[in-house]
Chain A
Amino acid sequence: MIRETALNLVDSSMTDNQTRAAPQKEGAWHETVLATLKSNNVKLITYVPDKVLTPLIKALHADDFFTTFATTREEEALGIVAGAWMGGMRGAVLVQTSGFATLPNALASLAVPCQIPALLFVSERGTLGEFNLGQAMVCKTMRPVLDALGLENHTITRQDELAFILDRSIKQAVATQAPVAFILSPLLTGGKVFAQ
C-alpha cells in the first residue's frame, strides 16, 4: 500500500518526451536528485560523506521531508536503509567510490538475496582527472563488482538525462524489488579536481 501511494505521487501525465524535453538546465544536478527522491517518496538518506556530494547532503539536511544522517560505515548505511524498507520507508545511501568498495558483502548477503530495493548513489572518484592512485584503483573494482552481482546500474553524465534515469530506475527498483546503483560521473557533478 505504501508503494502505491508513492507511485501515485508521480505525475503520470509526464511522457518520456516531456521528461527529455524539459531538461532542468538552470537547476544544479543536486537539485534534480533531491526533487526526484522527493517525488518518489524516498525519505531516508544515510551517507558516508564525499566532497562532491556536499551540496546534495547539505540540501537534504536542510529539507525536513528527509531524515538524513551520516553513518560510520557504508555497510551500516545500507543496513539501515534495508531495515527501513522492510518497515515501509524508502531510502537511499550516498557514498564515494571507495565507500562502494566496502559494500559487496552487504549487497550480496542482504539487499540482493532479500530483494530489497535500496538506492545507491555513488560519487565517482578515480577517473577523469583523478590525482590519487588509490582512488583510481578502487574505481576499477566498482563496475566488475556491480556486474558480478547482476546489479542494475547507471553511470549518469548529463543533467538533461538525470531526472529521467533516476525517476524510471527508482520505479523499476521498487517494482522489481532489486537494488540499483547510480554512478554520478564527474561529467555531471564536476568531480574533484587536483588541489595545487
Chain B
Amino acid sequence: MSHSQTGAVGAHNAKVMNRFDLTKRVVDKLKREEAVIGGIGNANFDLWACGQRPQNFYMLGSMGLTIPIALGVAIAQPKRHVIALEGDGSLLMQLGCLATVAMLRPANLTIVLWDNGLYQITGSQTTASATTADLVAIARGAGIADAAWAADEDDFDRLVAAALKDGGPSLIAARIDGKPAVATTDRDPVQIRERFMHGLGVKG
C-alpha cells in the first residue's frame, strides 16, 4: 500500500511536480474515450498542449465550475469515466461542489487537483493552500473518502490508474511547481463545445 492510500502523505511531504508532465501522464492512460474537463487557465492550457482529444472540454471562463461540469457529464453518461483537472484557486472558489460530489457518489468521476499554492495565471498571488488549507483534508471532510496527495510521479500514476477503474468518486491532489502552461488553448467556445459533444457521441 502506498503512503497516499493510507493517507500518510501530507501536502508538505508530497513532491513538487510539473503540471504539463502530470497532465501527459493522465492523458496517456486514457484508453476508453474518457471525458476530460480542463479548468480555467493553466489546467486547460496544458490539457490542450497534450493533444486535442475530441473528449476534452476546455473551460474558458466560469472559474470554479470544472468539477460541476464534469459531474454533469458523469451523470449524463454513467458508462464513461470523466476527469476534472482543476487548480487550487478555482477549487477554493467552489468548495461546496466537493460536498455535492460526495453526496451523489458518481463512480465514474475523478478529480485531479493542481495545487501550486498560487493564482498563477493572474500574477501568482498565493492561495490559502500555500500555507494553511489542506485541500485533500477538505475533500475528505466533504465526504470524498478516496482523496489523496500524490507522493511523487509513480504514486500519481498509480492513483490515476486506480481511479480510472470506476470505483470513484476520487480526488488526486498534486503539488506542482510555478511553471506556466506550455501552450494556449484556441478560444472558440462554440467550437470547443461542439467538438466535445461529437467526442461524447451526442451530436452528429
Asked if B200 and A88 sit within 8 Å, CB to CB, the answer is yes
Is B104 located at the chain interface by the 8 A CB criterion? yes
Which residues of A approach B to under 8 Å, CB–CB? 1-2, 44, 67, 69, 71-73, 75-89, 91, 105-106, 108-110, 113-116
> How many angstroms between the C-alpha atoms of A113 and B94 in the bound complex?
21
List chain A residues, Cβ under 8 A from B80. 87
Asked if A89 and B193 sit within 8 Å, CB to CB, the answer is no
Which residue, of A86, A88, A91, has the highest number of chain B Cβ atoms within 10 A?
A: A86
25 example contacts (A-B, Cβ-Cβ < 8 A) are as follows A2-B202, A44-B76, A69-B103, A71-B97, A72-B97, A72-B99, A75-B65, A76-B68, A76-B97, A79-B65, A79-B67, A79-B68, A80-B68, A80-B71, A80-B72, A80-B100, A83-B68, A84-B73, A84-B76, A86-B197, A87-B76, A87-B200, A88-B76, A106-B62, A113-B60
Is B61 located at the chain interface by the 8 A CB criterion? yes
Is B159 located at the chain interface by the 8 A CB criterion? no
Report B80-129 residues with CB < 8 Å from chain A CB. Answer: 80, 94, 96-97, 99-100, 103-104
Is B37 located at the chain interface by the 8 A CB criterion? yes
List the 10 closest pairs (A to B, CB-CB), nearest first: A83-B72, A109-B61, A72-B96, A87-B76, A79-B68, A79-B65, A89-B76, A84-B72, A83-B69, A110-B62
Q: For the A-B complex with A1-B203, A82-B68, A110-B61 known, give 10 more contacts whose Cβ atoms are closer than 8 Å.
A: A69-B100, A76-B97, A83-B69, A83-B73, A84-B73, A86-B57, A87-B73, A88-B197, A105-B61, A109-B60
> How many angstroms between the C-alpha atoms of A89 and B77 in the bound complex?
8
Is B196 located at the chain interface by the 8 A CB criterion? yes
Asked if B75 and A79 sit within 8 Å, CB to CB, the answer is no
Asked if A75 and B62 sit within 8 Å, CB to CB, the answer is yes
Asked if B75 and A84 sit within 8 Å, CB to CB, the answer is yes
Report B29-76 residues with CB < 8 Å from chain A CB. Answer: 35, 37, 57, 59-65, 67-76
Known: A69-B103, A69-B104. A88 touches B189 (CB 8 A): no
> How many angstroms between the C-alpha atoms of A79 and B37 in the bound complex?
12
Nearest chain-B residue to A115 (Cβ)? B190
List chain B residues, Cβ under 8 A from A71. 68, 96-97, 100
List chain B residues, Cβ under 8 A from A79. 62, 65, 67-69, 71-72, 97
List chain B residues, Cβ under 8 A from A109. 60-62
Nearest chain-A residue to B188 (Cβ)? A113
Is B9 located at the chain interface by the 8 A CB criterion? no
List chain A residues, Cβ under 8 A from B61. 105, 108-110, 113
List chain A residues, Cβ under 8 A from B70. 83
> How many angstroms between the C-alpha atoms of A91 and B59 in the bound complex?
20
